[in-house]
Amino acid sequence: MIELIQFPWSPYCLVQKRILDFGGVRYKTTNIRPPIRSLVWKLTKERYYQVPVVRRGRDVIFETDQNSQVIAKFLDSELNLGLFPHRWDGIQDILWQYIDNDVEGITFRLNDGHFKKFVPKADQLEYMRFKERKFGRGCLEQWRDQSAALLEDLAHRVMPFEQMLAHRNFLLEDTPRFVDFNLWGMLANFLYSGAYKMPAALPQVARWYKRMSKLKLSDAQREKLHS
If you compute the radius of gyration of the chain from its CA atoms, what whole number of angstroms results?
Answer: 18
State pTM to two decimals.
Answer: 0.96
Sequence ranges of the domains in the chain: 2-79, 86-226
Q: Peptide bond before 52: cis, by omega within 30 degrees of 0?
A: yes
Q: Do domains 2-79 and 86-226 have the same CATH topology?
A: no
Query: CATH topology for 86-226?
Result: Glutathione S-transferase Yfyf (Class Pi); Chain A, domain 2 (1.20.1050)
**130-143 average pLDDT score:** 98
Mean confidence (pLDDT) of the chain: 96
* Segment (H or E) for 92: helix 91-98
CB atoms < 10 A from the CB of 114, how many?
18
C-alpha–C-alpha distance, residues 60 and 154, integer Å:
34
Kindly state the average pLDDT of the residues 12-30: 97
Q: What percent of the chain has pLDDT over 70?
A: 97
Q: From 100, 79, 86, select the one nearest 157 (Cα to Cα).
A: 100
pLDDT digit string (tens) for 75-105? 999 999 999 999 999 999 999 999 999 999 9
In CATH terms, the superfamily for domain 2-79 is: Glutaredoxin (3.40.30.10)
**C-alpha distances in angstroms, 67 versus 21, 97, 134, 176?**
23, 6, 20, 20
